[in-house]
Structure 1
Amino acid sequence: MEFLVRQLNRMPADDASRRLREELRPAERQVARQLRDAGVLRRLWRVPGTLHAIGLYEAEDATALHDALASLPMFPWLEIEIQPLATHPQERETPVD
């Protein structure tokens, strides 16, 4: 099942949080790489001029997606919006050769 996931990091902007963010960033990249290698994280985009990220995830169900997102080191500070995706009828058509 595919999901469109919008993420916004709500970690405070104070100095202590800034240092923590810098410490967590390499671990965040490593977990994202693992999710990509496992086929869970299919695509990831940054919304220009914001801290928003939009990802295309594929997971067996909502629980598996939650587990994947919860594995991100910055998960406690993420505001996440999830939209399950259904195949559009036009995409279901078999291409003609």
Structure 2
Amino acid sequence: MKRVTYLFFAIAFGLMVLSVVPAKAQCAMCTATVESNSKSGNHATKGLNSGILYLLAAPYLAVAACGFIWYKKYRRKNVALDMRSEKLNLN
């Protein structure tokens, strides 16, 4: 069952990576402002789409960093087991 889960996640991740589609992340109000400013000759609005994508990625990176720190802090450590070398008599 564990292998099937890992295989499923590997296939899903591979499909997400391979099916990247360029996106234009602008709301309706931002689009209207950019269109009106670009028609009037203002060239300061060229980086707006990249800025919105940058702001969109920030929360995902923060959650990923917290998850990585949690994994490193709470994962199972190698524990030395001090067991006797004698055989156990269960009778």
TM-score under structure 2 length normalisation: 0.28
Structure showing greater Rg: 2
Q: TM-score, normalised by structure 1?
A: 0.26
Structure with higher RCO (Cα < 8 A, 6+ apart): 1
Normalized per residue, the structure richer in helix is 2
Higher strand share: 1
